[in-house]
Structure 1
Amino acid sequence: MTFSIVARCQKTGQMGAAVSSSSPAVAARCIRAKAGVGVAVSQNITDPNLSEVLLNLVRFDVAPQDAIHELVANTEFIIYRQLMVLDTQGQVATYSGEHTLGVYATHTGNQVACAGNMLKHTQIPEVMCQAFEHSEGCLAERLLLAMQAGINAGGEAGPVHSAGLLVVDKMDWPIIDLRVDWCEKDPIAELYQIWKAYEPQVDDYIVRALDPSSAISFGVPGNL
Structure 2
Amino acid sequence: MTFSIVGRCAETGQLGIAISSSSIAVGARCPWLRAGVGAVASQNITLPALGPQILDALEAGLEPAAALDQALTRNGYSQYRQVALLDSQGRSALFTGSQALGLHHALAGEQCVAAGNLLADRGVIVAMLAAFEQTPGMLAERLLAAMRAALAAGGEAGPVHSAALQVVDELTWPLVDLRVDWAEQDPLGELTRLWRAYQPQMRDYLIRALDPTRAPSYGVPGDE
TM range (shorter): over 0.9
Shift of 1:221: 4.3
Residue number in structure 2 paired with 1:103: 103
Map 1:41-120 onto structure 2 (within 5 A).
Answer: 41-120=41-120
AA partner of residue 192 (structure 2): Y
AA partner of residue 107 (structure 1): L
- Matches of 1:221 and 1:3, distance apart in 2: 42
Runs of 5+ consecutive residues of structure 1 not aligned to the other structure: none
- SS of the residue corresponding to residue 13 of structure 2 reads coil
Shift of 1:35: 0.7
- Matches of 2:36 and 2:136, distance apart in 1: 23
Residue number in structure 1 paired with 2:127: 127
Checking the alignment, whether the CA contact within 8 Å between 2:50 and 2:72 is kept in structure 1 is no
How many residues are paired up? 224
Map 1:189-200 onto structure 2 (within 5 A).
Answer: 189-200=189-200
Task: Say what the alpha-carbon RMSD is for the aligned residues.
Answer: 1.1
- Matches of 2:54 and 2:148, distance apart in 1: 27
AA partner of residue 13 (structure 1): G
Residue number in structure 2 paired with 1:179: 179
Shift of 1:66: 1.8
Normalised TM-score (structure 2): 0.97
Normalised TM-score (structure 1): 0.97
- SS of the residue corresponding to residue 223 of structure 2 reads coil
- Matches of 1:2 and 1:139, distance apart in 2: 21
- Matches of 1:160 and 1:48, distance apart in 2: 20
Question: What CA deviation, in whole Å up to 9, does each residue of 1:7-57 have, x standing for no partner?
Answer: 100111110101000011001100010111111111000000011111111
Question: What CA deviation, in whole Å up to 9, does each residue of 1:151-173 have, x standing for no partner?
Answer: 11100000000000010001110
Residue number in structure 1 paired with 2:35: 35
AA partner of residue 134 (structure 2): H
AA partner of residue 219 (structure 2): G
- Matches of 1:126 and 1:63, distance apart in 2: 25
Poorly superposed stretches of 4+, deviation over 6 Å: none
Shift of 1:133: 0.3
- SS of the residue corresponding to residue 74 of structure 1 reads helix
